[in-house]
């Protein structure tokens, strides 16, 4: 969503993304794993995301978010 990101090296941009759920905390697990979209409103999914797999393989992984913290109800997305 930021045109300046195209100038960054070693950055993968996922363009034209469509998700089955409008809430970030529910849509992100679908985007980064093979969690079926039909399970979007259901909590949990036992398979690891590709981010976890990359980290376990020794890659440095980072999660950048513009979601602000909001207390005891924080999620991994925020």
Q: Taking the domains of the chain in order of start, what are their residue ranges?
A: 1-78
Higher-confidence residue: 47 or 55?
55
Over residues 49-78, the pLDDT tens digits come to: 888 888 899 998 877 766 666 666 666 665
Spatial contact of 29 and 35, defined as CB atoms under 8 Å apart: yes
The overall pTM is greater than 0.85: no
For the record, the structure tokens of 51 come out as 């981010």
* Among the listed residues 35, 71, 67, 40, the one whose alpha carbon sits nearest the alpha carbon of residue 50: 35
Q: Which residues of 24-58 are buried (b: 16+ CB within 10 A; e: fewer)?
A: eebbbbbbebebeeeebeeeeeeeebeeeeeeeee
């Amino acid at each position: 969503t930021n045109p300046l990101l195209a100038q960054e090296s070693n950055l993968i941009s996922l363009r034209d993304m469509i998700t089955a759920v409008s809430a970030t905390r529910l849509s992100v697990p679908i985007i980064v794993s093979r969690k079926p979209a039909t399970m979007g409103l259901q909590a949990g999914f036992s398979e690891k995301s590709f981010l976890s797999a990359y980290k376990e393989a020794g890659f440095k992984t980072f999660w950048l978010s513009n979601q602000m913290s909001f207390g005891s109800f924080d999620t991994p997305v925020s």
